[in-house]
Structure 1
Amino acid sequence: MALHTAAYDALFGDDEGRVCRDIPESACNAQPENVSAHLISLAATKAGDGLADPKLVLAWVLNAVGAPAFLIGLLVPLREAGALVPQLFAAGAIRSLPVRKWAWALASAVQGVCVAGMGVAVLTLSGAAAGWGVIVCLSVFALARSVASVAYKDVLGKTVSKAKRGTTTGTADTLSAAVVLAFGLALSFGVLERSVSVVAAALFVAAGCWMLAAVVFSTLAEEPGATGGGGNAFETAISQLSLLRTDKQLQRFIATRGLLIATGLAPPYLVTIAAQRGGTDLGQLGPFIVASGLASVLSSYFWGRMSDTSSRRVLMYSAMMGSGALVLAVGATFLVPASLLAYAMAAVLFVLMIAYKGVRLGRSTHIVDMGNEDTRASYTALSNTAVGILLLLAAGFGVVASLAGTWVVIAVFACMCAAAAIVAAGLNEVQQA
């Protein structure tokens, strides 16, 4: 108890930490314990995400075991869209549960089993068999992730006070990024052998992270919530679509988030440009993981604190930063020598991942604070499903890259980020409501 309180006061201060907004009184009394449970659970799953990152780690290990290119190309769209599209239908079932922490805990445990399965696949199989093994595990992982995502926003809104949610998630991001950064540094400097077995071991560690998170999250003090809107998944999904026609702020938020998928889609293209001119051996994985992890360590807490003041500004600033980073990537493609290009792209990835962390924390805090107990799950499911459909369509960028060049896709992504900054300017300041 004393440890929970000390950590809570360190994050928010004695005076600020005692004020609760938009949560039940019983949840307010349990704030130190609940914030600690969120921090540990989120830090663990986010560390797992970094150790099993489809954009970097899974792509590299499948390349190392000789999996076909088309399977490697499925990793990011399958992971992202598979975790988003089903949410509109999952929301109704989750809504019928008075206490939703159990949905998240179960989904986290399933994700852990799936990541362990990926580790087994790359250790025991090769070529297309290894690729398909990872793809099957990733498909189930993504479905479990969709359940966890819908449940988490609702549980966060019920158990952590408004104006503390961004700080909580941002701090968890920073803690997890330190783990991922250490892994990247160990690969870069040869502390860990650059081999498939080491990457498989990292996947097993990631699986353990999800299992730990499932146990810790189940200890949350969550009050039973409203269950109106629960029931038949398809009927609930159709009824929720009316929000897209009537809620102008939801429309603008989805448009902003849809344009900002560019920050998540761009990293594999940066890696591709470096690989086309500098090679694709596993030894190049380290600098990219270091860049990604360092960006998270340095920016997540900052973005989280800013999100508690204005998630709208976080979305605007991160969009502008993402656009600038991608413009630099286009320039580096033509101006940087081949021998230095991998390092130049890792530097660009560093800036881009700072922007990406801002996008993730800004959009998460905004959707939670924009909604209330009755609309939060629906907002989350609608926005995630809409963006998931866009991500499925984004597979077409691979065709553009093969026909016109990878740099053209990166230029398009830069324009998308610039447009997102303009659209985000029209969002409400939901933290001030």
Structure 2
Amino acid sequence: MSYTEEVYERVVAQNPGEPEFHQAVKEVLDSLKVVIDKNEEEYRKLSILERLVEPERIISFKVPWIDDNGTVQVNKGYRVQFNSAIGPYKGGLRFHPSVNQGILKFLGFEQTFKNSLTGLPIGGGKGGSNFDPKGKSDREVMAFCQSFMTELCKYIGADTDVPAGDIGVGGREIGYLFGQYKRIRGLYEGVLTGKGLSFGGSLIRTEATGYGVVYMLNEIAKAHNDSVEGKTIVVTGSGNVAIYAVEKATQLGAKVVAMNDSNGYIYDPNGINLDVVKDIKEVKRGRIKEYADRVEGATYTEGLGIWNIKCDIYLPCATQNELGLDGAKTLVANGCKYVVEGANMPTTLDATTYLQENGVLFMPGKAANAGGVATSALEMSQNSMRLSWTREEVDEKLHNIMIDIFHKADDAAKRYGMEDNYVVGANIAGFEKVVDAMKAQGIV
């Protein structure tokens, strides 16, 4: 049995009931086999892979808070500090009923490689709670966030661990969290990113992940003598990442015809009217089906199946494992040429393999959606220097980071004779930097 297989079996045995974490580890270790085999003796001696797949620290805590009826509610809170070899832990907080320790370990593990690819000095972490902000009043969200931060503040700091937002954690939640951190610790520092512009936030941060996905898509197309312009695109999700992927793709001359949420999907053959989507999702916090009532010619379909809409490019920007094998087969049959992940691991392993084997150019989330955390790191830099860069400055830095990530993944894939396999390329490029730092710092 190979070293990578041994470590994977150990991960499954020692982390029962955590399928998302198992999946993330398997995808990375399978990709790294070509690298590990060349240096197996050294990596075994130093237990590089065993150290890489084990979080440095996991904090788990209860979060009691009082709802609008005066009833005490209790949620679970977590912070997984996965790897600090190249910088302080960096990664979002997710507030969603599906949150558990296994999902956060998968996200923290992925974040380690994603952050490495940005070229910026940030390690990997992730956190969150099974609290659901949907349907809660602002006062209830504030009460929860203050209780959550009362415990979390003991373990984070500008040079230790810098959380950001993720699913369920937007500007409102970050504001409440930052206010409570400042109140308890007495520090005004860049401990959270995604802050409001009036208290240390960065321009372009809201748009960064979605913009970065399309910048990455554009680089892949250019490398294959193609263009985004004139292409038909399906974007899954209707949150922050999806909205700004649609915005940037439209600016580059593509036509986005479909979006969805957890209830169903909309199809607009004339191209999505993003002003309507923003009003529904960002202003009214409503459901995507309202779009069909407001836009002539648009239709709404309940349930799954957005992949049935014919497209040249598919951008999954919702959540993990949303695109399975059946969906991948439909995309291929309908002539889809590019799948670029805006969410974290939204494509199952068998679907990813099928897409690659059938000529679809596939870029994994750890490379494609790194624009968000890259801009968070730029926010950290601005906070440290007490500066605020212009929108144009931040956008240019983001664009250049995404171009650089593409070339790192592309070059690594070519070095190992696997051209156009960006899954392998991204994993190898991220791994090499982290391991170099781990080896230099000794057994820690």
**TM-score, normalised to structure 1's length?**
0.29
More strand by share: 2
More helix by share: 1
